């Protein structure tokens, strides 16, 4: 544990070293959220019913911004780092140290997660709560709900990075995965419920989603925050996240062992 | 024995490539594979505290061997033990015993000040505060790290970075230090510093050092023993002196002469009774320099000098011993005697 802590703290420092990139990221992603906010406003304004996909307009506003808060924390692309390490031949530099490569990456991602949570995340969240209370006239979120959300979001983070590690392993076989990384991001933003709530998909598609890890990455914690899950459903949703973490962890170990056996370090 | 390598081999399998566009299409459907042996049945053992030069031409398999000894690559056949640990089976345990510098890469954190990298390495290798202070004091003295200790690694010059990398590899006082081209691209002064540092470390901590390099100076200054490999096979293992004795028998005498005459020279060899394959002569018309290369065991320098001087007017004489570089070149070209 103590061994990996510096990876997290260093990533934090590294993030702060590149201020420009950070503000750009902040601006672009917030901008996207406001676009979808106004889009949904227009959709609800012209709709016949007051709920779409089981969400009222107020809930949709919360959904849009909480999705922003959650996904900025959760979607930390480990695979980018893996592919960078592979292309530059830096995997070797990691293997000469008495550490586990995956653990060091996860801790590094943890550092970035913390930074994103502190930097825009928490402020957007608080701002949203005030907006909700004073503009929409809804009560503040319950403390237990916040706890459940944070618990679920942390598992989402683990789930995402474990999945991304497995995905990044492709880089060892194909060397260059930039295109695949772009495709992954586009596809995942759909499957995680980042673009539109999964409850708006047709029934059969939602059935399929039940068996995929992706809804557990962003959609689940946001729905928990909205209070859409009752007791047994809540336990089931959290349990499912946990099971996916275990499965992806095991998968990652298997793939990593195979990769290191046939590792070819680029550049001599 | 600090390092025991026995019958180690590594082959890389890659899909067969065909030439041209037609070939590229063929390649899509072909399942033919080419197996290339990068390292072929190499064995050696190294004692504690030795500094061993591991040399060979580009692509000879030097780095591949090093990578198997560090646990990065797993050997196809054979095995090795480093300080009693098999790096392939217990990579992490082995990693605590070794320090590695790959001259062309860095293990430092690119975006952060150098000091941060050292703090992380301190945690990773679990170096206690006392050891850390002592080690840093030593490294500062031999590598002069303090002058750029607070600068981000990406702003360091190549020489500074290499010193920093060497320091980073030594922070946990490893039993074995692997240096893969540690002086590549450095100027003479920095090279000299790095060599001095390696010597001091070896003397103080009895660190075993394995060094691959193309720089003959590194080897002449540091290594008492060298291993030469070519096309994955070990072709020489022994002391530097022995290698010089074997191959360094060639001498070259260069003389600046007046009234050069080829006929006279030919007569001269006859009177000396020397066979034609034992010498090589060359005459540089512009600078009027006659150089004779010969085997020092068969002809003696004074003989040549008196013979030439009896026929021609000699203004200046220079005698050169064969450089290690020439020996290595010779071995690369024609193999071991």
Pairing type for strands B176-180 and B208-212 reads: parallel
Q: What is the pLDDT of residue B337?
A: 52
A13 close contact with B: CB closer than 8 A: yes
- Say if the Cβ atoms of B95 and A260 lie within 8 Å: no
Touching check for A21 and chain B: CB below 8 Å? Answer: no
Chain A residue with Cα closest to B69: A96
pLDDT band at A257, cuts 50/70/90?
A: confident
Name residue, tokens 């930039």. A178
3-state SS assignment for residue A123: helix
For chain B, residues classed under CATH 3.40.50.300 are 3-7+40-245
pLDDT in tens, B171-193: 999 999 999 888 888 888 888 88
DSSP one-letter code for A2: T
Number of H helices, E strands in chain B: 12, 13
Question: What are A16-28's pLDDT values in tens digits?
Answer: 777 787 788 778 8
- Whether pLDDT at A266 is above 70: no
- pLDDT at residue B59 above 90? no
Domain boundaries along the sequence of chain A: 5-261
Q: Residue B13 — φ and ψ, nearest 5°?
A: -105, 130
Contact flag A96-B95 (C-beta cutoff 8 Å): yes
A92 shares contact with chain B (CB less than 8 Å): yes
Sheet holding B314-321, edge to edge: B279-284, B289-295, B250-257, B314-321
CA distance B260 to B314: 10
Partner-chain contact A10 B109, CB within 8 Å? yes
pLDDT, average across residues B32-39: 82
Look over chain B and give the mean of its residue pLDDT values, rounded to a whole number: 84
CA angle A257, B176, B163 (to 5 degrees): 100
Which is it for strands B51-55 and B208-212: parallel, antiparallel or unpaired? Answer: parallel
CB atoms within 10 A of CB B96: 17
Helix (H) or strand (E) holding A115: helix A101-116
CB B321 within 8 A of CB B248: yes
- In the prediction, which pLDDT does A220 show? 92
CB atoms within 10 A of CB A175: 12
What is the enclosing helix (H) or strand (E) of A180? helix A178-191
CATH topology of domain B249-321: Alpha-Beta Plaits (3.30.70)
Rounded Cα–Cα distance for residues B80 and B9 (Å): 11
Q: Is B112 on the interface with A (CB under 8 A)?
A: yes
- Class of the domain covering B3-7+40-245: alpha beta
The C-alpha of B100 sits at a distance from chain A's nearest C-alpha, in angstroms, of: 7
pLDDT tens column, A88-146: 878 888 888 888 899 999 999 999 999 888 877 888 899 999 998 998 888 888 899 99
ipTM of the prediction: 0.72
Residues of each domain in chain B carrying CATH 3.30.70.100: 249-321
**A32 pLDDT tier (thresholds 50, 70, 90):** confident
The encoded tokens of residue B240 equal 């530097």
Q: Where would I find the H helices in A210-230?
A: 219-225
Q: Does A231 touch chain B (CB under 8 A)?
A: no
Tell which residue, A264, A12, A68, A100, has the closest CA to residue B13. Answer: A264
User: Which residue has 């962003």 as its token pair?
Assistant: A218
Q: What is the mean pLDDT of residues B240-260?
A: 78
pLDDT at A9 over 60: yes
> How many CB pairs below 8 Å do chains A and B form together?
74
Residue B110, pLDDT above cutoff 90:
no
């Amino acid at each position: 544990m103590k061994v990996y802590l510096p990876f997290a703290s260093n990533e934090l420092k590294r993030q702060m070293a590149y201020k420009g990139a950070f503000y750009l990221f902040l601006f672009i992603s917030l901008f996207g959220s406001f676009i979808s906010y106004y889009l949904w406003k227009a959709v609800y304004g012209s709709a016949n019913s007051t709920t779409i996909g089981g969400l009222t307009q107020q809930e949709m506003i919360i959904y849009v911004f909480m999705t922003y808060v959650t996904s900025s924390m959760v979607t930390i692309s480990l695979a980018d780092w893996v592919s960078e390490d592979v292309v530059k031949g830096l995997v070797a530099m990691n293997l000469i140290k008495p550490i586990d490569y995956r653990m060091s990456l996860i801790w590094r991602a943890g550092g970035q997660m913390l930074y994103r949570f502190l930097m825009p995340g928490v402020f957007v969240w608080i701002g949203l709560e005030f907006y909700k209370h004073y503009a929409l006239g809804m009560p503040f979120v319950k403390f237990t709900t916040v706890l459940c959300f944070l618990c679920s979001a942390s598992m989402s983070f683990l789930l995402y990075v474990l999945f991304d590690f497995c995905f990044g392993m492709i880089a060892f076989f194909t060397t260059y995965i930039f295109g695949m990384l772009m495709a992954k991001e586009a596809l995942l933003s759909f499957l995680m419920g980042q673009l539109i709530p999964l409850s708006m998909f047709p029934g059969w598609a939602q059935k399929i989603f039940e068996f995929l890890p992706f809804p557990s990455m962003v959609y689940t914690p946001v729905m928990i925050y909205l209070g859409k899950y009752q007791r047994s459903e809540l336990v089931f949703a959290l349990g499912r996240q946990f099971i996916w973490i275990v499965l992806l962890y095991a998968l990652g170990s298997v793939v990593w062992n195979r990769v290191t056996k046939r590792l070819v370090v680029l550049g001599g | 024995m600090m390092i025991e390598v026995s019958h180690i081999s590594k082959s890389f399998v890659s899909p067969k490539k065909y030439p041209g566009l037609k070939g590229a299409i063929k390649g899509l459907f072909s399942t033919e594979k080419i197996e290339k042996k990068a390292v072929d049945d190499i064995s050696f053992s190294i004692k504690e505290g030795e500094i061993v030069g591991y040399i060979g031409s580009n692509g000879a398999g030097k780095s591949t061997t090093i990578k198997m000894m560090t646990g990065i690559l797993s050997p196809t056949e054979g095995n090795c033990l480093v300080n009693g640990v098999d790096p392939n089976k217990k990579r992490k345990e082995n990693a605590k015993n070794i320090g590695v510098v790959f001259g062309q890469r860095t293990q430092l954190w690119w975006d952060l000040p150098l000091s941060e990298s050292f703090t992380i390495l301190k945690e990773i290798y679990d170096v206690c505060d006392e050891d850390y202070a002592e080690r840093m004091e030593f490294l500062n003295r031999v590598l002069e790290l303090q002058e750029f200790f607070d600068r981000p690694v990406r702003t360091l010059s190549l020489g500074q970075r290499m010193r920093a990398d060497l320091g980073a590899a030594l922070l946990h006082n490893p039993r074995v230090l692997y240096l893969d081209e540690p002086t590549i691209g450095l100027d003479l002064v920095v090279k000299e510093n790095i060599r001095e540092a390696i010597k001091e470390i070896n003397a103080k901590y009895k660190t075993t050092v394995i060094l691959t390099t193309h720089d003959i100076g590194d080897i002449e200054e540091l290594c008492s023993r060298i291993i030469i490999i070519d096309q994955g096979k070990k072709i020489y293992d022994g002391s530097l002196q022995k290698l010089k004795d074997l191959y360094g028998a060639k001498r070259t005498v260069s003389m600046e002469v007046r009234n050069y005459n080829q006929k006279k020279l030919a007569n001269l060899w006859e009177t000396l009774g020397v066979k034609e394959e034992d010498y090589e002569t060359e005459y540089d018309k512009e600078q009027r320099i006659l150089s004779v290369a010969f085997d020092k065991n068969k002809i003696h320098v004074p003989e040549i000098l008196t013979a030439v001087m009896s026929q021609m007017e000699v203004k200046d004489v220079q005698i050169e011993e064969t450089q290690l570089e020439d020996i290595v070149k010779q071995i690369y070209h024609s193999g071991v005697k």
